[in-house]
A and B are shown apart, each in its own frame.
Chain A
Amino acid sequence: MAAQPETIDQVRAVTEQKYKYGFTTDIESDVAPKGLNEDIVRFISAKKNEPEWLLEWRLRAFRVWQTMEEPQWAAVSFPPIDYQDAHYYAAPKQKVGPKSLDEVDPELLATYAKLGIPLREQEILAGVEGSEGKSPSIAVDAVFDSVSVATTFKAKLEEMGIIFCAISEAVQKHPDLVKKYLGSVVPYTDNFYATLNCAVFTDGSFVYIPKGVRCPMELSTYFRINQANTGQFERTLIIADAGSYVSYLEGCTAPQRDENQLHAAVVELVAMDDATIKYSTVQNWYPGNAEGVGGIYNFVTKRGACRGKNSKISWTQVETGSAITWKYPSCILQGDNSVGEFYSVAITNNRQQADTGTKMIHIGKNTRSTIVSKGISAGKAQQTYRGLVKILPKAEGARNHTQCDSLLIGDACGAHTVPYIESRNRSARIEHEATTAKISDDQLFYCRQRGISEEDAVSLIVNGFCKEVLKELPMEFAVEAQKLVGISLEGSVG
């Protein structure tokens, strides 16, 4: 089907309207001057009232970063980023350290309400009215630009010894835990963007689940970039002590702006003996318009360490936003019998680019990993699955299964699969399956003949294609993700 001029107009209209999170909020903020140097790093650290060791760590990272170059191996292209032309700190102005939600700027709360985040505990409770004794299902930490503004259900979690707070707060209140684990999975020398994050990260979430505790609700962080010309560098650290369990959700949105904004986050997960961490992301940063103007550069380092035996880390991601995505949530399977999982749906439309995948590093005996990647490309988008499965000599009996499926919509997009497999143990079993398919005119006509509109048909077919991954998401996210899949592809056929 050749694209008719009307179709192109339609696609444009749809894409420009459909990003419903594209509003900005008028909030006075405290912004650091543009540019990046040691003074800015010191400024951020001072703003956060950080201990000396953390400032030193940041400065070491900054010095290393100055000697590093942007990675060039990913199949994405963009004009050079001027790292001196951005603000590295922006915080909504408010009384220092809100004691409760009542002290949070009402504008902020209104913004989160618009995003559909149940920030107020009352609202969440209202949602479960009538079901007495049933515990609420989500606790939320909200990060606005670079600062955590509110965390719900803290008190309830504290009763069980669970720590869920902003990382800046954890630095003050639980310095030993932070010092022990920060940078222990992603070292400050890791890569260009992660190292930059170490130098300038401003906030993020911190979670500690004590031994033997099963976290009774989903923990969730919503990230929001609001301020113009700012980068967002949040840092998340989750520690699941022996025998514990936690499920963590992450959601992201940003206003519609013509310039590109950088998001370089770092997420570190640590699972001890018999512990399980389930980490789910629905990423819906502003993707730019149909011509590729604006949008978020999502350059993120996510890594989990299965340190203990029988531990498990499971990543589930639904990536629909961002102009460019560069992201490889990985697992280091160190403990014997530990399990790593990666379930991914990545959707790119218009001129979006995504180079995403995972790394599974098998170190311990009988370690197992599963990779299921579903890539959907439409418009003029380019998408690459890039994955590494590495079996080290001592990983006796290690197993991996990888399944990589691509779905193309239209004839101007691309899908690429780049698997790297390295095995240094003869007993390892590694399987890789890959398929590429197109949504056919036959399928669309069949659906339309049954009364289903073309756009609903695309959504139905794509949701079917992603089902294996979407079913891994917690209930609260699954419905949202299904809708998002439909919205992201609206106007992609015509």
Chain B
Amino acid sequence: MIEIKNLHAKVDGKDILKGVDLTIRPGEVHAIMGPNGAGKSTLSYVLAGREGYEVTDGSVTYYGKDLLALEPEERAAEGVFLAFQYPVEIPGVANTTFLKTAINAMRKHRGEKELDAMQFLKILREKTKALGMSDDMLKRAVNVGFSGGEKKRNETLQMAILEPKFAILDETDSGLDIDALKIVAEGVNALRSPERSMLVITHYQRLLDYIVPDFVHVLAAGRIVKSGGKELALELEKNGYRDFGVDEAA
């Protein structure tokens, strides 16, 4: 279980999160929606532990542990996964090498035996096939020359291989056309399980047609101002964020 209590955070000296409260139980999918500048990406970076995102108050308890006390790589090994809005390119490093390094670093942290090349390839092939991805993408350098859709599918593949307990999807729909969006959403849906919780961050309701959440929260000006079921998303789509004191046209 993940419990976020009264979370305050600063970026470049500016208060962005101003008291976020949120509880996510295993297996639940929560969506966070909100206007630009509400603090959506800040929340995902704070949870993942990015440098420069300073927590000034509040706590995050992750399966009984103080998440904020852990280094980013420790959080990852504990099962926190962030699907990036803009996946980063790493020239010269093959996707396969990257994934093998990642999974073995995590296994080592957890005191598990590292996978050898054969064991790893077996897992990789299974997951790649399940996601309908081509082997060609595995040989290419991490995200280099990938289309927007390929990048997001690559994030999904990483999630499938690393098997997180808590996945944060930061604006996964950005830069995708409707076909690519469907493919990525299918991949994500295939990874839903009773043990895995997800936090889906998005600006638009569109994504939630495909990844249907259990709960929807509205983040505005650094706080969750409204929570509800999936129907809340449709309401927002109709009325925009005006009801929360935000003028989108501005």
List A residues at the B interface (Cβ < 8 Å): 1, 440-443, 445-454, 456, 460-461, 463-468
Report if B181 contacts A (CB, 8 A). no
Q: Does B13 contact A (CB under 8 A)?
A: no
Q: Which one of B73, B84, B158 has the highest number of Cβ atoms from chain A below 10 Å of its Cβ?
A: B73
Give A441 to B53 CA distance when docked, in angstroms.
Answer: 13
A446, B71: Cβ atoms under 8 Å? Answer: no
Q: Which residues of B contact A445 (CB under 8 A)?
A: 48, 50-51, 72, 88
Main secondary structure of the interface of A (DSSP, over half): helix
Q: How far is the CB of B86 from chain A (nearest CB, A)?
A: 8
- Taking a contact as CB atoms under 8 Å apart, the answer to whether A446 and B88 are in contact is yes
Which residues of chain A have C-beta atoms less than 8 A from B84's C-beta?
A: 446, 449
Instruction: Let me know if A450 and B98 touch, CB within 8 A.
Output: yes
Given the interface pairs A450-B76, A450-B98, the reply to whether A456 lies near B50 with Cβ below 8 Å is no
Given pairs A452-B105, A464-B91, A465-B92, 12 additional interface contacts (CB within 8 A): A443-B88, A445-B88, A446-B87, A451-B106, A451-B162, A453-B73, A454-B73, A463-B92, A464-B92, A464-B93, A465-B91, A467-B92
Compute how far the CA of A78 lies from the CA of B158 in the bound complex, rounded to whole angstroms.
Answer: 49
Known: A445-B50, A445-B72, A463-B92. A451 touches B109 (CB 8 A): yes
With A441-B51, A456-B101, A464-B141 known as contacts, the answer to whether A449 contacts B72 (CB < 8 A) is: yes
Chain B, residue nearest A1 (CB) = B51
Q: Do residues A450 and B158 form an inter-chain contact, with CB atoms below 8 A? A: yes
Residue pair B77, A451 in contact (C-beta under 8 Å): yes
Interchain CA distance A447-B87 in the complex, whole Å: 11
Most buried by B among A445, A456, A468: A445
A380–B175 CA distance with the chains assembled, in angstroms: 40
Tell which of A440, A446, A451 touches B105, judged by Cβ atoms closer than 8 Å: A451
Q: Which B residues are in CB contact (< 8 Å) with A446? A: 84, 87-88, 90
CB of B82 within 8 Å of the partner chain: yes
Residue B102, interface by CB 8 Å: yes
- Chain B interface residues toward A at CB < 8 A: 48-51, 71-73, 75-77, 81-82, 84, 87-93, 97-98, 101-103, 105-106, 109, 141, 158, 162
How far, in angstroms, from A278 to B75 measured CA to CA in the complex?
46
CB of A18 to closest CB in B, whole Å: 20
Q: Please, which residues of chain B bring their CB within 8 A of the CB of A442?
A: 88
**Complex Cα distance A456/B162, Å?**
18
Cβ contact within 8 Å between A448 and B90:
no
- Residues on the B chain within 8 Å of A441, using CB: 51
A463 to B81, CA, bound (A): 25
The residue on B at minimum CB distance from A461 is B90
**Within the complex, which residue of A443, A460, A467 is in contact with B101, where a contact is CB–CB below 8 Å?**
A460
Of A443, A449, A465, which one neighbours B76 at CB under 8 angstroms?
A: A449
Complexed CA–CA distance, A451 and B158 (Å): 12
Other-chain contact of B102, A451, A454, A468 (Cβ < 8 Å): A451
> Do residues A451 and B87 form an inter-chain contact, with CB atoms below 8 A?
no
**Cβ of B93 and Cβ of A448 under 8 Å apart?**
no
Q: Report B68 CB to chain A, min CB distance, Å.
A: 15
**Are B48 and A453 in contact (CB-based, < 8 A)?**
no
- By the criterion CB–CB under 8 Å, are B102 and A452 in contact? yes
User: In the complex, which of the residues B81, B88, B106, B141 has the most CB atoms of chain A within 10 Å of its own CB atom?
Assistant: B88
Kindly list chain A residues whose C-beta atoms are within 8 Å of the C-beta of B73. 448-449, 451-454
Closest 4 CB pairs of A and B: A464-B92, A464-B93, A451-B76, A451-B106
User: Contacts A461-B93, A465-B92 known; A448 to B87 CB distance under 8 Å?
Assistant: no
> Which residues of chain B are near A1, meaning CB under 8 Å?
51
Q: How far is the CB of B83 from chain A (nearest CB, A)?
A: 10
Residues of A within 8 A of B97 (CB): 460, 464
